[in-house]
Amino acid sequence: MNTTGKIAISTIVGVALGTVAGILLAPASGKETRKVISDKYNQTKEDLAKSATDVKEKVKEKTHNAAKKVYDKTAANNQDA
């Protein structure tokens, strides 16, 4: 995983942990707290899935570009020979 992906995941995890800590320390009923935690969990899960998809697409694009460069270079070398 590249640095951008690691930073994105670390940021999301940090925000999620901070949110949960804030919720647990805030004065609210147990039912309200569980609802907020559940909502935040679901949102974080969606954010992580989106980040994973974004990283996957970037890797796919970079792999495609690298393969194209190799193909083009090989084709150029074959024409020169």
Q: Which residues of 20-40 are buried (b: 16+ CB within 10 A; e: fewer)?
A: beebeeeeeeeeeeeebeeeb
pLDDT band at 1 (very low <50, low <70, confident <90, very high): low
Angle in degrees, 0-180, between the axes of helices 3-25 and 30-80, rounded to the nearest 10: 180
**HSE-CB for 17 with a 13 A CA cutoff:** 6
Total-model pTM: 0.52
Spatial CA neighbour of 20 closest among 37, 6, 3, 7 = 37
pLDDT at 52: 86
Give mean pLDDT, residues 59-76.
91
